[in-house]
Amino acid sequence: MQTTLLASLKPGEGGTIAALSSGKNGQGRGFGFRMHKQHNPQRLREMGLVEGRLITVQQNRGRGPLVIRLGETRLILGRGMAEHIHVKQ
């Protein structure tokens, strides 16, 4: 299964959340990066970002936060969080 990071999607693009990564062992922001506790997969799930849900990017300017649509909910996610959400388009 090929996935794309949520942070790399353009406005109007989206898909199904396929996985949430922890950022350990070279994943995420570079080798050895340890995910801040607010970015851990459990925290993302508590926010409703769970595997299998449809997600759409409403705003992504290439830096800074993203605005996403998750069902009827609009969320603003920091780029660091979005870099740990894998989407199947």
Q: Enter the DSSP assignment of 77.
A: E
Tokens standing for residue 13: 């693009």
15-58 pLDDT, tens digit each? 999 999 886 543 444 433 444 555 588 889 999 999 999 999 99
CATH of the domain at 44: 2.30.30.90
Range of the domain at 14: 4-88
Work out how many domains the chain is built from and give that number: 1
| Distances from the Cα of 31 to the Cα of 35, 60, 84, angstroms | 11, 25, 14
Lay out the sheet containing 54-59: strands in order across: 4-5, 85-88, 14-20, 54-59, 66-70, 73-77
CA distance 15 to 49: 12
- pTM over 0.85? The answer is no
